[in-house]
Each structure stands twice: as structure tokens, then as C-alpha cells.
Structure 1
Amino acid sequence: MGLWLLVGRWWARQTATFRSDPTWLSAARDLEAAFAREVPPTASEGAIRAWIAARREHGSPEQAVLLDDLARVLATPWAL
């Protein structure tokens, strides 16, 4: 559950950051909704990384940037 909460904090930060840019805000919200639907709260870091990789291949350029940032946060959670 700890990783899921970390990712939740990250989504909140992204939503606040891109509040004034509709394209980026939409990308962040779409990813947040997909994460909530597709990743269980007990998911391991490996499962979350696999989800990131799968989503990155099929998402928009904005989503790819967001997912790269999320992967960096998972590697260094203290940076959040």
C-alpha cells in the first residue's frame, strides 16, 4: 500500500502542476484514472514499473514524459 500512496501523492503534484495546461492536465488525469483501475493497492514496485512500461508504449508523448517522471520517483521516493 505504501507505493500506491506514493504514486497518489505524485498524481496530486502533477495535477496541481498542470492545472492551467489542458493537454498536460488531461494526460495526467487519464493516467491517474488508468492507474486506479489497473493497479491494485498491493502492487509491488515491479508490477508498477511493468504498468509504466506498458502504458509508455501506447500513450501520448505527454503521458510518456509523465511516466518517465513517475519511474524516477519510484527510484527515489524521498525526492517527492
Structure 2
Amino acid sequence: MLAVEQAQGSTPLQQFVPQQGEKWALVFGNEVEGVSEGVMQLADAALEIPQWGTKHSLNVAVSMGIVLWSLVEKLHLPEGQ
């Protein structure tokens, strides 16, 4: 299970390398509370969408779009496209 959350030790999304055939459950929190501490303790890893500036939360639908596109791009597009 991968939690999408700003957390200690999280992996920046652009550095995450999914392997062909791996299956993951993605857990997204809401923009105020994030992913609960209980779920974070169960997660295998945390992915973080890098953000700059003073605003450090994204709408959950936007976050899902960013993460899913990144994973699809890494798994299905030939390198260089």
C-alpha cells in the first residue's frame, strides 16, 4: 500500500520507480487532514508530490490525477516520449 502524503521519509513522486507487474493500493487523504496516522503506519511507503511556496495541499482529485499519470507514464510510455 502506498500512501500519498507529505511525511518523514516519503519518496518524491518523480523518484518512485514502479516495477512492471507490481500491484499497489494507493491511499489518498483529504487536503485538510491528510492520510490518518493509523493508515500511515500500515503503508509500505509514502509518495509525496513535490510542492513549492506556501500552499502545501492539493485537492484530492488533482493529486490522484498527478499520481496516476506519473505511474502510467512510467509503466507504459517508451523512454523519451
- TM-score, normalised to structure 2, is 0.33
Name the structure with the higher helix share.
1
Higher strand share: 2
Greater RCO, 1 or 2 (C-alpha within 8 Å, sep 6+): 2
